[in-house]
């Protein structure tokens, strides 16, 4: 499945953004307000709460993805910072991060490796130290990568695993990781401290 990008050429019948950003922002806010105001049946809320728990998210985090992207989560994209990894003589991961990753995932997990490292080797080492399932790994954009370059790198990785950008939640830390989420039009950016809360602190 090919991810939608900003470079997509409008097709026949498209207004080519003639109405402008102001109108699109107004229409989006109105649609979202109507969606939030709509009463959701209790059983649907219960189903969503269970789904959020299986994904390792709080209900507000999960609900914000549904409201923001209009679709369910199909996978997680973890940055190096997002997994709180320490690149010393060998890769290390905090115990509370490994513990959460060892829970049965309800969506594929994709890891972004440091740009200078071999992604396949990084995935193997990460799976070994966390004793967790890591479905794929791809090189992360370089810190100095432009907006367009970051988008192309992230989209290339998602195309490899046939996953749509707007169904992916990225777990990361810092301005660069958040910028990658915006550049690639991902469903949501969740800071690592929120996804991997350290209950021992």
Query: For 4-26, how does the pLDDT look when each residue is reduced to its tens digit (9 = 90+)?
Result: 444 455 555 555 555 556 676 67
| Claim to verify: residue 62 and residue 118 sit in the same structural domain | no
> For residue 156, what are the contacts with CB-CB under 8 A and spacing of at least 6?
138
| Claim to verify: residue 103 and residue 57 sit in the same structural domain | no
Domain end residue (candidates: 31, 50, 66): 66
What secondary structure letter does DSSP report for 166?
A: G
Q: What is the pLDDT of residue 3?
A: 45
Asked if pLDDT for residue 111 goes beyond 50, the answer is yes
- Helix axis angle for 147-160 and 174-183, nearest 10°, is 70
Query: For 53-63, how does the pLDDT look when each residue is reduced to its tens digit (9 = 90+)?
Result: 999 999 999 99
Asked if pLDDT for residue 142 goes beyond 50, the answer is yes
How many domains does the structure of the chain reveal?
2
d(CA 107, CA 133): 11
Asked if pLDDT for residue 123 goes beyond 60, the answer is yes
> Per the domain annotation, does 15 fall within a domain?
no
> Per the domain annotation, does 78 fall within a domain?
yes
Provide the strand spans (E) within 20-153.
75-78, 86-87, 91-92, 109-113, 136-139
Q: How far is C-alpha 157 from the geometric centre of its chain's CA atoms?
A: 12
Range of the domain at 150: 72-195
| Claim to verify: residue 79 and residue 171 sit in the same structural domain | yes
| Claim to verify: residue 86 and residue 170 sit in the same structural domain | yes
State the pTM of this model: 0.70
Residue 172 pairs in a beta bridge with 191
Asked if pLDDT for residue 68 goes beyond 90, the answer is no
Q: What is the pLDDT of residue 1?
A: 45
d(CA 116, CA 74): 28
In three-state secondary structure terms, 110 is strand
> For residue 80, what are the contacts with CB-CB under 8 A and spacing of at least 6?
87, 112, 113, 114, 140
The CATH number of residue 170's host domain is 3.40.50.1000
pLDDT grade, residue 36 (50/70/90)? low
């Amino acid at each position: 499945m090919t991810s939608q990008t900003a470079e997509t050429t409008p097709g026949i019948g498209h207004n080519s953004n003639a109405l402008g950003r102001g109108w699109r922002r107004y229409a989006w806010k109105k649609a979202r307000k109507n969606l939030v105001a709509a009463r959701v049946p209790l059983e649907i809320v219960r189903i969503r709460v269970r789904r959020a728990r299986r994904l390792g998210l709080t209900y507000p985090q999960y609900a914000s993805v549904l409201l923001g992207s209009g679709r369910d989560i199909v996978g997680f994209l973890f940055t190096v910072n997002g997994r709180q990894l320490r690149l010393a003589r060998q890769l290390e991961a905090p115990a509370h991060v490994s513990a959460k990753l060892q829970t049965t995932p309800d969506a594929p997990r994709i890891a972004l490796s440091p740009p200078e490292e071999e992604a396949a080797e990084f995935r193997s080492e990460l799976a070994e130290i966390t004793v967790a399932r890591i479905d794929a790994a791809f090189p992360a954009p370089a810190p100095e990568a432009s907006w367009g370059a970051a988008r192309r790198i992230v989209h290339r990785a998602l195309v490899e695993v046939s996953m749509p950008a707007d169904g992916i939640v990225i777990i990361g830390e810092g301005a660069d990781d958040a910028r990658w989420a915006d550049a690639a039009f991902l469903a949501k950016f969740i800071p690592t401290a929120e996804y991997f809360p350290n209950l021992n602190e």
